[in-house]
Amino acid sequence: MASAVLQPKLGHDGTFLVRMQWGDPVELPPDTDGGAVEQGEVAVTYLSRLVGHEVPHSPAETALDMLLRG
């Protein structure tokens, strides 16, 4: 994706359409989320505020660990 613009959705206050422009493909390193997906793998990312803190071990993470360990 080269750029993205939020366009207000007519008749739906406070909602938007995302208009994206695609550029030339960029090969990403396989140890990044995008690179893993390019190689047909799954990427799971924990999103948080931009502050340093320990990531809590959630029930979802435990279940995913158990699934992947098989």
Is the model's pTM score more than 0.75?
no
CA angle (51 as vertex; 64, 32 as ends), nearest 5: 45
pLDDT of the residue at 57: 74
At residue 7 the predicted structure's pLDDT band, cuts being 50, 70 and 90, is: very high
For the residues 35-61, what does the mean pLDDT come to?
Answer: 78
Question: What CA–CA distance (Å, rounded) separates 54 from 45?
Answer: 15
For the residues 30-59, what does the mean pLDDT come to?
Answer: 80
**Each residue's pLDDT tens digit, 16-40:** 999 999 999 888 999 888 899 899 9
For the residues 4-23, what does the mean pLDDT come to?
Answer: 94
